[in-house]
Each structure stands twice: as structure tokens, then as C-alpha cells.
Amino acid sequence: SSDLMDAEKYLQQSPKDIPSDELYGIAKDKNVFLISMESLQGFVINRKMFGQEITPFLNDLIEDSYYFENFYHQTGQGKTSDAEFMMDNSLYPLPSGAVYFTHANNTYTATPSILKDQGYYSAVFHANDASFWNRELMYDTLGYDNYFAKEYYNITPENSVGWGLKDIDFFKQTVQLAKDLPQPFYAKLLTLTNHHPYEYSKEDQMIPEFNSGDGSFDRYFVTVRYLDEALKNFFDEVKKNGLYENSIFIMYGDHYGISENHNRAMGEFLNKEEITPYDSVQLQKVPLIIHIPGQEGKTLDTISGQIDVKPTLLHLLGVDDSQAGVNFGHDLFAENKPQLTVLRNGSFITDEYVFAQETCYERETGVEVDSANCEPFQDKAANDLQYSDEIIYGDLLRFILPENEQEDADKAAE
């Protein structure tokens, strides 16, 4: 437990979030839809290919949402599951392996269990095998009340492609299941069609393939466009079924879809001669869209990452920090959000610099600069990862006391 105290002391060194007066508690008691947009990278947003928008629905939705344009995925080998892990725990995933497999029996202070104390019901919807990524076990650990996996869905050869049930059908069936949940609920939805190797059915093609000759790269745009359409259908279904007004929507890209193995094609697409380590870091941006019905849209350039979603959500729901467990991220709407985001491989981004492969770049231009500019952030970046890893390896959150006992302990210490 003294290791936990070290980690907590470390976290207390960074200033406490000062939540936005305007937004704290704005979504109190509303349903939450958290949507994982499979392999969706930021570079397709508001971009055209052959004169056509790649994500027309999202481009519109962003106009009426909080959109974080400098939001990075921070996943490692656990891919989708690592992103899920960060969303719910505000801890980093592990440097190797998937924490969903290796530490599924730990104690966590995860969003579903925190929200249970606020009267929420929580569920995950994903039309895949329940055991994939060890989810069945991990969801139990994290405090989810139910996991609607494959067996809850009507899956046929006609409504499937690639990895399984097509997203449009997934969303349609999911809304039918979600509308019967106890409310308020916290519902996580995991999409699947826009998954490598980006297979699609001809009848679902709404945009041409790109023409680099790199097959999966070229197909990516077709399945991204399909995911965009599926999201449009989802909002239609949610509205039709009376779930729109009393819900908020948090949508995030889970991780990159195009790896560095496709740099040649990526260079062609972006009209760049070379994809530098700086570019590779910038390509790890994924969309984060927070849609709150009735709120006007705003695009924010805060340097941010998946680790920040849990504290952001809890503040929107009016859950105060004493009930939020241990978090490495920060409320994205806080006035004093630190401008540093650390990727799992140790690269980091500040408002001024990008650090990648031992090189310091100016963030705005991608020009290499003296490494002394990045040095002040290097320890903090490394320590963040290390303390988070130690919490997971040592299962340290089992030493967290329930709130009432904590108060007694604090009094005793005074």
C-alpha cells in the first residue's frame, strides 16, 4: 500500500483539474453512449478524396459537438481493448501484452463501478465472441452489469462482412436492445466493419477506393465511409426510439488503421515525399467527438488523449473527484488541462513540441529543433507511464479504501 501512496503522491504533484463552470454536471443523470469507432484515424475527418467527403456525417456532427482535433490514441498491443481500458480507467495500457488478458483479476476504479454508485446501469454491446480480448472476464472486473455479445445478435451471411456483423445492422439491433435497459445507463458500443483488412460488400460502397495500388490502404476509405454512414443511421435510430434527448454521446477512434507499413501509400495520399517520425506521431491522432444534445459545437485544440476521457465524462456527469478513483488523465474542459500527451511508446506531444524517436520537433511545423526543448517533459512522460505500470503490475488499487474509511484515515493522519 505504500507503493500506492507513492503513485498517489506523484499524481498529486500535478495541479487539480479546475472544471469548467459551464459544463460541470451538465449531463447529470443522462444516459451515456460511448462509441468505439474501429480503426478511425483523424486524417480522414474534414478531408476529401477525389472531390468527395470521406466522413460527411461526422463532418456535420462535429459542427454541433465538442470536437478535439489534437486527440491521440495511446494504445499498445492490446489494440481495441487497450483503448477501452483507458476510457474506463484513465490508466495507461501496458508496454507489452494486453492488460485485458494479463491483469483481468486486478482491482480497478473503473467508470462502470463508479457510475453504479450514481444509480447507473452499464452494458457493453459488441457482436463478437464474448471471450475475444478476454472481455467477458474483464467487463465483470470493471463492474459492467451486462455484456451483449454475439449471441444477442441476429447474424446472417447477408448482414455480415469481414470480421462479422456489419455496423449498420449492429447499430440497428443495438438500439433495440438498449432501449429496454434500466436508465440512466452507460452503454459502450464497439463497431467492427472498419477493421483491417477493410473488406466490404459491393452494395455498401459509397466512395471509390483510393488508387495507390496498396490494397488495404485503398479500401480503408470505403470502409471508413461505411462506418460514417452507420453512425448516421445510429443517430436516426436513437432519435426514432426516444433515446436522443436524454443521452450524451462520446465517440472515439480506438487506434490507427493504417500502420507505418503503408507509408508509401500514405505519402501519396497526403502529397508528402516522406513520412517522418514526426508525421507518424501526428498520424496517431484519432477523432474524439462529444455530442451533447442542446449544446452548441466547438472545435478544441487541447493536446489530449484517451487517458483523459474518464475524468472528462465524470465531470460532465457531475461526479466529483473524491469518487473518481485514481486517474492519470485530466478533464479536457478544465481550464488548467496540462498540455502534454504521452503515447505508449514514449513519444509525447506538448503544445509546442513533438518528441519522437529521440528527436524533438516543433509541433506546428514538424521542423527538427534542439533536443533541449523537449527535455523538460521527458521525465514527466516516462514517470507517468511507469507509475501507471506499477499500479497494474502490483495490483495496487486493491489498497484503495472506500470513501468513508478514507476520511477516517485522513483525519487520523492530521
| Total of residues contacting Mn ion (CB under 5 A) | 4
Residue 285 near which of ligand GP9, Mn ion, none (CB within 5-8 Å, type-dependent): none
Nearest to 69 by CA among 241, 282, 400, 299: 299
103 or 135: CB nearest ligand GP9: 135
By the criterion CB under 6 A, which residues form the site for ligand GP9?
A: 79-80, 128, 132, 190, 192, 195
Q: Does 331 bind Mn ion (CB under 5 A)?
A: no
> 43-102: which residues touch Mn ion (CB under 5 A)?
79-80
Beta carbon nearer to ligand GP9, 195 or 315: 195
Residue where the block lists cell 496540462? 338
CB of 124 to ligand GP9, least distance (A): 11
CA neighbours closer than 13 Å in the CB half-sphere of residue 102: 16
E-state strands within 5-132 = 31-37, 48-49, 52-53, 66-68, 71-72, 121-125
Choose from ligand GP9, Mn ion, none: what does 128 bind? Cβ within 5-8 Å by kind: ligand GP9
Q: Residue 160: CB partners within 8 Å, gap ≥ 6?
A: 166
SS3 of 348, please? strand
The full length of the chain comes to: 414
Q: In whole angstroms, how close is the CB of 154 to ligand GP9 at the nearest point?
A: 18
Member of 17, 169, 254, 279 binding Mn ion (CB under 5 A)? 254
Which of the following is catalytic: 55, 80, 111, 193?
A: 80
User: With b meaning 16 or more CB within 10 Å and e meaning fewer, what string describes 271-310?
Assistant: eeeebbbbbbbbbbbbbbbbbbbebebeebebbbbbbbbb
Q: For the CB of residue 137, give the shortest distance to ligand GP9 in the complex, in Å.
A: 14
Min separation Cβ 257 and ligand GP9, Å: 9
Active site residue 80: yes
Residue 132 binds which entry of Mn ion, ligand GP9, none, CB below 5-8 Å type-dependent: ligand GP9
Single-letter residue type at 198: Y
| C-beta atoms surrounding 243 within 10 Å | 19
> Which of residues 195 and 310 has its CB atom nearest to Mn ion in the complex?
195
Catalytic positions, please? 80
* Residues at the site binding Mn ion, with contacts judged by CB under 5 A: 38, 79-80, 254
